[in-house]
Amino acid sequence: MVVDSQFPDLAKLCVEGLKERSKNRPVDRLINTHHHGDHSGGNIAFKGVAKKMVAHEFAANLIKQAAAAPNAAEQLSPDSTFTDVWREQVGDEWVRAKYYGRAHTGGDAVISFERANVAHMGDLMFNRRIPVIDRVNGALVANWITVIEKAAADHATDTTHIFGHAGIKFPVTGTRAELMVFRDYLTALLNHTRAAIKAGQTKEQFTATTPTLAGFEAFGAHTARTLGIVFDEMAEAK
Ligand SMILES: [Zn+2]
């Protein structure tokens, strides 16, 4: 069972290592948490290796679209899709992929290994790092907060969560506590943006300064691009 495939060269190394250690046992399932290239770009290395390729319907469509573009590299696209939840027994493990709604994109899933008590959050989780917000492909920061809360509630307090990304010096795994820090950061980001809109600032004025948010200094400074995306979302929701 493999969750996400990063880039082709690295995925190739992963496949070689798996083959060597498993004495050529095939990969039962390759699952993508979402469509972004740094999570699905290496799928092609699993062609003929993974028996099935699973992703949320929305993510699968975007992967297929990208693969169909002129000059696109050869790609292995998902052959099994789901809209709410996918769950299967593999060996003595139960694996679940669940969609909680729009957040980082419009098609992110949490992949849970129920017996092992491990949950791969994909890019629903940035640990002390400014998140990528893919508004063009369905992201919604206001809902992201709810998505994290729902995902946390679906897992035990001692579940090991794997994060899509982390700031330098911060770990890529952790517990519910880290999820709550990120939820609170997103809330602070929305509040910061809401205050500016209420004060009558234009997008240009708002994105002219790129502060760190009080209490969330570890995340670092924002880019004008990130702030602009949040501004657009909130201006539209008004
Ligand atoms: Zn991503």
Taking the CB of residue 113, how many other CB atoms lie within 10 A of it?
Answer: 19
Whether the CB-CB separation of 215 and 204 falls below 8 Å is answered with no
Cα 160 to Cα 49: distance, rounded to the nearest angstrom = 28
The reply to whether 10 falls in a domain is yes
The reply to whether 33 falls in a domain is yes
pTM: 0.95
Q: What is the CA radius of gyration of the chain?
A: 19
47 CA to centre of ligand 1 in angstroms: 22
Residue-wise pLDDT tens digits, 113-168? 999 999 999 999 999 999 999 999 999 999 999 999 999 999 999 999 999 999 99
Q: Which residues make beta-bridge pairs with 39?
A: none
73 CA to centre of ligand 1 in angstroms: 19
Residue-wise pLDDT tens digits, 55-75? 999 999 999 999 999 999 999
Phi, psi of 2 (to 5 degrees): -125, 130
Whether the CB-CB separation of 44 and 76 falls below 8 Å is answered with yes
The reply to whether 54 falls in a domain is yes
Residue 52: domain span: 1-81
Residue-wise pLDDT tens digits, 3-25? 999 999 999 999 999 999 999 99
In the block, residue with structure tokens 């996918």: 86
What is the domain count for the chain?
A: 1
209 CA to centre of ligand 1 in angstroms: 25
Say what the pLDDT of residue 210 is. Answer: 85
23 CA to centre of ligand 1 in angstroms: 32
The reply to whether 51 falls in a domain is yes
Say what the pLDDT of residue 179 is. Answer: 98
Residue-wise pLDDT tens digits, 168-208? 999 999 999 999 999 999 999 999 999 999 999 999 999 99
Q: Report every protein residue that has its C-beta within 5 angstroms of ion ligand 1.
A: 36, 123
The residues, ordered by sequence, that sit 6+ positions from 174 with a Cβ below 8 Å of its Cβ are 127, 160, 161, 163
Cα 59 to Cα 40: distance, rounded to the nearest angstrom = 10
What CATH number is attached to the domain comprising 53?
A: 3.60.15.10
36 CA to centre of ligand 1 in angstroms: 5
For 145, what's the count of Cα atoms within 13 Å in the CB-facing half-sphere?
11
Q: What does the mean pLDDT of the chain come to? A: 96
198 CA to centre of ligand 1 in angstroms: 30
The reply to whether 19 falls in a domain is yes
The reply to whether 189 falls in a domain is no
237 CA to centre of ligand 1 in angstroms: 23
The residues, ordered by sequence, that sit 6+ positions from 47 with a Cβ below 8 Å of its Cβ are 76
- 39-55 core/surface letters (b: 16 or more CB in 10 A; e: else): bbbbbbbbeebbeebbb
104 CA to centre of ligand 1 in angstroms: 7
214 CA to centre of ligand 1 in angstroms: 25
Cα 164 to Cα 133: distance, rounded to the nearest angstrom = 13
The reply to whether 181 falls in a domain is no
The reply to whether 163 falls in a domain is no
